[in-house]
Amino acid sequence: MALWPMRHRMLAIGAAALVTALTASACGGGGSAGGGGSAAGGVRLVNAGKLTTCTHLQYEPFQFTRGSQIVGFDVDVIDLVAKKLGVKQDVIDIDFAAIKSGAVLNAGRCDLAAAGMTINDERRRNIDFSVPYFDATQALLAKKGSGHTSLADVKARGLKLGAQASTTGLQYVKDKGFDPIEFADSSKELLGLETGQADVVVQDLPVVLTWLKKPEIRAKYDVVARLDTGEQYGIGMKKGNSALSKVVDQVIEQARADGTYNALYKKWFGVEPSPAAAS
């Protein structure tokens, strides 16, 4: 591997420090790692009486803040799991790198991770995934009338490409030979586009479409390309936590069967899911 640019090294150092801190917390014997209790179906929770979810804000419409509340499609899906277990959901905002690495799950900070997270082989080495609950694709967003219609245009014109750190969108464009500017979260990525730090950004299509619901964004920007990457999202859990995995899978499959999934999908995305996504 070639030497990373300074910003990449700093991200890696920060993630490593977080993992070390989480591990130390887990080994200290206090709080969530050693406590917890059982819920329905023999599922042991890291905090008695609640289902603790790790996520990474802001990632509208999957998880984001609205006033003092954390809301979104993922939040509603996990509320169904919490209801099945007879508890309430508690959401923790944490760095995405520590989520996909499994560090927060191994440290006993949370029971599961719901963060618009794509299932892939690298992440499967660190965490177990539920059955897929969302079909995703990537999109390029740029100014209206820019004439940019593809990643080939980005490369040929020497444009500044932006992406969210630790995401599959970032990895996708890196695999295509790009060295994008990395933003800590989706809201900072959009701000980077608005302030000219990036000419084009790559992001999950549902997130981009949510941005475009805002009149001030829709007036200035357009989706200039869709990148069909064949991605699916899954709920992450600590490896070997088969009791919780079983419940999560049952809830997702039941929600698809009884129409609850379709209702949540329409609530957050404004349309019904495709037949394939709903089944």
Please give the domain boundaries of the chain with CATH numbers for all domains. 41-133+234-270 (3.40.190.10), 137-231 (3.40.190.10)
- SS3 per residue for the chain: CCCCCHHHHHHHHHHHHHHHHHHHHHHCCCHHHHCCEECHHHCEECECCEEEEEECCCECCCEEEECCEEECHHHHHHHHHHHHHCCEEEEEECCHHHHHCCHHHHCCCCCEECCCCECCHHHHCCEEECCCCEEEEEEEEEECCCCCCCHHHHHHCCCCEEEECCCHHHHHHHHCCCCCEEECCHHHHHHHHHCCCCCEEEEEHHHHHHHCCCHHHHCCEEEEEEEEEEEEECCEEECCCHHHHHHHHHHHHHHHHHCHHHHHHHHHHCCCCCHHHHC
Neighbours of 33 (CB within 10 A): 18
Among 235, 17, 23, residue whose Cα is nearest residue 112 = 235
Res 230: pLDDT: 87
Report the candidate in 119, 138, 116 with the shortest Cα–Cα distance to residue 130.
119
Contacts for 43 with CB less than 8 Å, ≥ 6 apart: 85, 243, 244, 247
Residue with tokens 């357009």: 222
Give pLDDT tens digits along the chain (279 positions): 333 333 333 333 344 444 444 444 433 333 334 457 778 778 999 999 999 999 999 889 999 999 999 999 999 999 999 999 999 999 999 999 999 999 999 999 999 999 999 999 999 999 999 999 999 889 999 999 999 999 999 999 999 999 999 898 999 999 999 999 999 999 999 999 999 999 999 999 989 988 998 999 999 999 999 998 889 999 999 999 999 999 999 999 999 999 999 999 999 988 888 765 565
Listed residue (130, 82, 53, 71) closest to 264, CA to CA: 71
Instruction: State how far the Cα of 97 lies from the Cα of 8, in Å rounded to an integer.
Output: 12
Q: How far apart are CA 10 and CA 13, in angstroms?
A: 5
- Residue 216 identity (one-letter amino acid): E
- The residue type of 4 is W
Q: What are phi and psi of 49, to 5 degrees?
A: 85, 0
Q: Is the C-alpha dihedral spanning 92, 97, 99, 104 positive or negative?
A: negative
Q: Is beta strand 161-164 parallel, antiparallel or unpaired with respect to 200-204?
A: parallel
